[in-house]
Chains A and B, each alone.
Chain A
Amino acid sequence: MPSDGLVTQMRKGALEYCVLALLVGRSRYAFELIEGLASTGMLTSEGTIYPLLSRLRRDGLVDTEWRESTDGPPRRYYRVTAEGKRALKAFRDEWAGFRTAVDAVLEKGATL
């Protein structure tokens, strides 16, 4: 995808909700989140997920806890909070409407 301003902004805006969505099923640690996002191409480099996670923590959308790991150092696990679930639901609704509207116009434009 071209990395012009608009698309970059869209990616940035949607990224936190993608992270929240990945956490709805179960708690994950950073590596797993990075893996989950890899296919979307939305994470420019692995390190950039940490400011995002820090932001989510500050906003109370995720919680973290350290857990021991058998094959390595302890890992910080991220868990979505009730607040985070609410935010994700709100985004889903917005996104559905947005996607439909944009698709409709793009479709129309193509047939004119």
Chain B
Amino acid sequence: MSAPHADQIVNGYLARLEQALADMPNARRTELLEDVRAHIAQARAGLTDETDADILNVLDRIGEPADIATEARERLGVRPRPPSRIGLLEIGALVLTPFLWPVGIILLWTSSAWNTRDNLIGTLVPPGGYMGLGVLAFLPLIAVRTSSGVCGSPGFGYCPAIPSPPAWVGLLVALLFVAYLVLPLLTAVYLGFRLRRANARPTVPA
């Protein structure tokens, strides 16, 4: 006859153990959970008329999940996971680099979550983020103003004809435009991805 709350108690314990082992490689964690599960089953098999107290005693003798996890880390060589590096600084950097580029890249370089290569990608791909798009959009406008604003007005007379730019310039501007539309988003996604990878993978020495 099972104790009234046996499953609850045992599952609660195993859940805590799984939590404590969260930074271990999957295979090691699964193995340890299986071993402890089997241990509990065997201990219970030896009990007659098991009570809730009996189960609690079995779990007491097995020990605190935190202690087992510490032992596992020491024996199986996993460094304890460093605290999560996704903070306000990192979120700010991710969001602001596309939209408020100067502030965004300050946050980017200030945060220690990304290496130099990633920081450079964030800064230069593309430079200015979506704000760079605004600068790009200005260029044709400036060109139009200078070519027509002064020359057309009375009193200035004849203006030398300004040749219209060759077709390839137009194409280049169009390409830059598209790049500036797409790249800030891609870069933000890339940086976000790099952040998750650095956080998720526990390090196990060979």
State whether B63 touches A45 (Cβ < 8 A).
yes
In this complex, the interface size class of chain B, counting residues with CB under 8 Å from chain A, is: 20 to 34
Q: Name B58's closest neighbour in chain A (CB-CB).
A: A46
**Dominant SS at the B interface?**
helix
Number of interchain pairs (Cβ within 8 Å): 69
Residue in B31, B46, B62 whose CB lies within 8 Å of A72: B46
Query: Which residues of chain A have C-beta atoms less than 8 A from B38's C-beta?
Result: 73, 75-76
**Dominant SS at the A interface?**
helix
The answer to whether the Cβ of A12 comes within 8 Å of any Cβ in the partner chain is: yes
Query: Which residues of chain B have C-beta atoms less than 8 A from A30's C-beta?
Result: 35, 39
Q: Name A53's closest neighbour in chain B (CB-CB).
A: B35
State whether A51 touches B75 (Cβ < 8 A).
yes
State whether A52 touches B71 (Cβ < 8 A).
yes
Chain A interface, number of residues (Cβ within 8 angstroms): 20
Docked complex Cα distance between A71 and B32 (Å):
23
Chain B 39-53, CB-CB to A under 8 Å as 1, else 0, gives 101110110000000
Q: Name A71's closest neighbour in chain B (CB-CB).
A: B45
Q: Name B61's closest neighbour in chain A (CB-CB).
A: A46
Query: Which residues of chain B have C-beta atoms less than 8 A from A47's C-beta?
Result: 36, 39, 62-63, 67-68, 71
State whether A46 touches B64 (Cβ < 8 A).
no
Residue among A44, A50, A55 with max Cβ neighbours from chain B (10 Å): A50
Docked complex Cα distance between A53 and B35 (Å):
10
Docked complex Cα distance between A31 and B41 (Å):
12
A residues engaging B (CB < 8 A)?
A: 12, 30-31, 44-48, 50-55, 58, 71-73, 75-76
